[in-house]
Structure 1
Amino acid sequence: MAIRNRVKELRARDGLTQGDLAERIGVTRQTIVSLEKGSYTPSLLLALNLAEVFKEPVESIFFKEEMGE
């Protein structure tokens, strides 16, 4: 099972650069890059901060996906 996310899609929807988003939630741009690639699983605090910025529930940003789907 893997955790997938919609960070890149939501960031684009809101017209934010990776740097803009990173600044808003207090992380590095590289953290955003890793999130978007799916190589980084965020802490609960980071996930909540993203939900706040995107005005979306955490569950609509992050979701479990069975391997091979």
Structure 2
Amino acid sequence: MTDTIRTLNKLLKEKGVSDNTEITRYKGKYHLLHICKNGVPVPLIISKDITKIKDHIEIYCTA
């Protein structure tokens, strides 16, 4: 299965962390962002390879 931003956002939702975490693509790089209570995005990981983002989600993102 090909990983896309949409499939990884579904994975975040399944893990229960989609309310304060999101994935974006900017200038050819994928960004996994934590959204703070005041609305400021903090990058957790930045990579050109979306599979590295998926691996990070599977290892570290738990509710």
* Same fold (TM > 0.5): no
Structure possessing the higher relative contact order (Cα contacts under 8 Å, 6 or more residues apart): 1
Higher strand share: 2
- TM-score, normalised relative to structure 2: 0.36
Q: Specify which structure has the higher proportion of helix.
A: 1
Larger Rg: 1
